[in-house]
Amino acid sequence: MIHRRAFLKSTGAALGATLRAAPARLPNIVFILCDDLGYGDLGCYGSRIRTPNLDRMAAEGVRFTNFCSADPVCSPSRAALLTGRYPTRVGVPRVLFPRDAGGLNRDETTLADVLKAGGYRTMCIGKWHLGHTPPYLPTSRGFDAYFGIPYSNDMSPRPLMRDTQVIEQPARLETLTRRYTEEALGFLQKSAREPFFLYLPHTFPHIPLAASERFRGKSAEGLYGDVVEEIDWSVGQVLRALRENGVDQDTLVMFSSDNGPWYQGSPGRLRGRKGTTYEGGIREPFLARWPGKIPAGPVSDALASMMDVFPTVARLTGASLPAKPLDGVDIWPLLAGEKESIDREILLYFDNWDLQCARWRNWKLHIARHNSAAYSPAPPGGRHNLLLPRAELYNLAEDPDESYDVAAENSAVVAEMERRIRRLISGFPAEVQQAYAEAQSRKADPATPTGAYPRPQP
Ligand code: MG
């Protein structure tokens, strides 16, 4: 356990007044992640699904309206969360399947690695999806213990694992949220005397959906609503356990989702769903609660990324940063209410190795797009990323659903974003640069309508 003096020294004066009344121990970290939960699926984000525990968590902490995952599908988004780096840099540009022997590059450092090295107890409970063979499982990536399905619940086989052992096959889906919660409560009980990191990536509401009998048929929003209401119950149980174990004031709890909704669920008024780089595929609910450190109730519209979690937690815990540069930035000043926004480098959005669009301040620039939706059968000639006939620019502050291309009226913004993209991408792995170069030479038909899936050149 790191001594308090060393902790304060390592985090420095930057924490300022917020840490003057610091606890005599390092903060605990709880990160609860949903799978394929939409931006519009919680009560506090406008849903009719009943989520009283998450709504209360939002009221007791900060709620973000511009928090984005680093990728619109499961594995890459999780890779970015746990490394603070773009998924294309860490060997996870796409979803992993049971046939894949690899996973998150072995030379990457996870958030669990650095917290464990700093004396934390660490546990992952739920869907891992960063490699299911022994060198890639959570217990090889900084977690003391693991309980869950190592990938998505629609994949086969569907093992439930404890650490590296299969304990049930196939996993009984309707029991998972309840059993994950029981595991979490047991871990919190055992860990109350030491700093801990609980990473709780739920299996749901990724399809196939399943809820326990207590929640099945209870929501007015169908089985999807039942599933989300059970997750909300689980969050309430975790928050209650923190109070009962006396660590509520010492624990930063965060809640989000890996990517947008798939066939069910709501992206709110955002355009697109899982698998697309429109906002509906990547904008996520994000709540952060730490009584006494994070003010209760603010709603932040500051731009933030899933990649920011690593540097933010590292700063709060005094953890060592990895040797490789992080793409995320420390957003503690946003969480603590010390700043309203952080000026940051442009954010890039990929589908596999293919750069498609970028976010800078309130602007979204689409430069390339696949000629069909992800998860659709490939069109004749194959699925390709095609350079759009004209880059499309959307002002997300005024046009959150990316409906009105204003590139022609804002040519200076387009030029600045294109300059930043070129500069940033020159430091990416060869596969990204090759895909980028290929897209430059694979232009869409100039007759492609703005916003459409591009047609290939005739
Ligand atoms: Mg997902």
**pLDDT tens-place string over residues 348-361:** 999 999 999 999 99
Cβ–Cβ under 8 Å, residues 275 and 281: yes
DSSP state of 454: P
Is 229 found in the same domain as 209? yes
Is 64 found in the same domain as 141? yes
Q: What is the pLDDT of residue 135?
A: 98
Is 276 found in the same domain as 156? yes
* Ligand 1 centroid, distance to 36 Cα (angstroms): 4
Is 280 found in the same domain as 185? yes
For the whole prediction, is pTM greater than 0.75? Answer: yes
* Residue 4 domain flag: no
| CATH (domain of 97) | 3.40.720.10
Is 427 found in the same domain as 358? yes
* Ligand 1 centroid, distance to 380 Cα (angstroms): 28
Q: Which of 112, 110, 94 is nearest to 102 (CA)?
A: 94
Stretch (H or E) spanning 435: helix 430-441
Residue 119, helix vs strand vs coil:
coil
Q: Rounded distance, CA 210 to CA 199, Å?
A: 21
* Ligand 1 centroid, distance to 360 Cα (angstroms): 24
Is 386 found in the same domain as 419? yes
* Ligand 1 centroid, distance to 343 Cα (angstroms): 28
Cβ–Cβ under 8 Å, residues 332 and 110: no
Cβ–Cβ under 8 Å, residues 110 and 197: no
* CA distances in angstroms from 401 to 278, 300, 444, listed in the order given: 8, 19, 23
Angle, CA of 235, 241 and 242, to the nearest 5°: 95
Q: Exactly one of 129, 202, 206, 384 is catalytic; which is it? A: 129
* Ligand 1 centroid, distance to 192 Cα (angstroms): 30
Beta strands 304-305; 62-68: pairing state: parallel
Is 129 found in the same domain as 232? yes
Q: What is the 3-state secondary structure (H, E, C) of 9-73?
A: HHHHHHHHHHHCCCCCCCCEEEEEEECCCCCCCCHHHCCCCCCHHHHHHHHHCEEEEEEECCCCC
Q: Rounded distance, CA 82 to CA 104, Å?
A: 10
Among residues 314, 335, 356, the one where a domain terminates is 335
* Residue 340 domain flag: no
* Residue 2 domain flag: no
Q: Rounded distance, CA 99 to CA 368, Å?
A: 30
CA gyration radius, the chain: 21
* Ligand 1 centroid, distance to 33 Cα (angstroms): 9
Is 327 found in the same domain as 359? no
C-alpha atoms less than 13 angstroms from C-alpha of 269 in its C-beta half-sphere: 10
Is 378 found in the same domain as 424? yes
Among residues 335, 356, 385, the one where a domain terminates is 335
Give the type of residue at 444.
A
Question: How far is C-alpha 420 from the geometric centre of its chain's CA atoms?
Answer: 24
Instruction: Please identify every stretch of the chain with a pLDDT value under 70, giving residue numbers as ranges.
Output: 1-24
* Ligand 1 centroid, distance to 27 Cα (angstroms): 28
C-alpha atoms less than 13 angstroms from C-alpha of 47 in its C-beta half-sphere: 28
| CATH (domain of 353) | 3.30.1120
DSSP secondary structure string for all residues of 303-371: -EEGGGHHHHHHHHHTPPPPSSPPSS---HHHHTTS-S----PPEEEEETTEEEEEEETTEEEEEEEES
* Ligand 1 centroid, distance to 321 Cα (angstroms): 27
What backbone phi and psi angles, to 5 degrees, belong to 66?
-135, 45
Q: Rounded distance, CA 254 to CA 310, Å?
A: 12
Q: What is the 3-state secondary structure (H, E, C) of 392-405?
A: EEEECCCCCCCCCC
* Ligand 1 centroid, distance to 206 Cα (angstroms): 6
* Residue 6 domain flag: no
Cβ–Cβ under 8 Å, residues 203 and 153: yes
Is 375 found in the same domain as 229? no
Q: Which residue has the tokens 């093992």?
A: 159
Annotation marks residue 129 as catalytic: yes
Q: What is the pLDDT of residue 13?
A: 40
* Ligand 1 centroid, distance to 332 Cα (angstroms): 25
Structurally, the chain folds into a number of domains equal to 2
Is 139 found in the same domain as 271? yes
* Ligand 1 centroid, distance to 314 Cα (angstroms): 25
Does the CA dihedral 320-342-430-141 come out positive or negative? positive
Annotation marks residue 74 as catalytic: yes
* Ligand 1 centroid, distance to 207 Cα (angstroms): 10
* CA distances in angstroms from 131 to 84, 103, 134, 150, listed in the order given: 18, 4, 8, 7
* Residue 33 domain flag: yes
Is 223 found in the same domain as 190? yes
* Residue 3 domain flag: no
What backbone phi and psi angles, to 5 degrees, belong to 232?
-60, -40
* CA distances in angstroms from 81 to 69, 86, 413, listed in the order given: 8, 9, 29
Among residues 335, 360, 383, the one where a domain terminates is 335
Burial of 406 (0-12, 13-18, 19+ CB in 10 A): middle
What backbone phi and psi angles, to 5 degrees, belong to 370?
-70, 155
* Ligand 1 centroid, distance to 259 Cα (angstroms): 5
Q: Which of 291, 286, 317, 280 is nearest to 303 (CA)?
A: 286
Q: Rounded distance, CA 30 to CA 134, Å?
A: 25
Beta strands 145-148; 121-125: pairing state: parallel
* Ligand 1 centroid, distance to 393 Cα (angstroms): 27
Q: Exactly one of 74, 124, 202, 370 is catalytic; which is it? A: 74
Q: Which domain holds residue 398?
A: 347-441
* Residue 84 domain flag: yes
* Ligand 1 centroid, distance to 200 Cα (angstroms): 14
* Residue 96 domain flag: yes
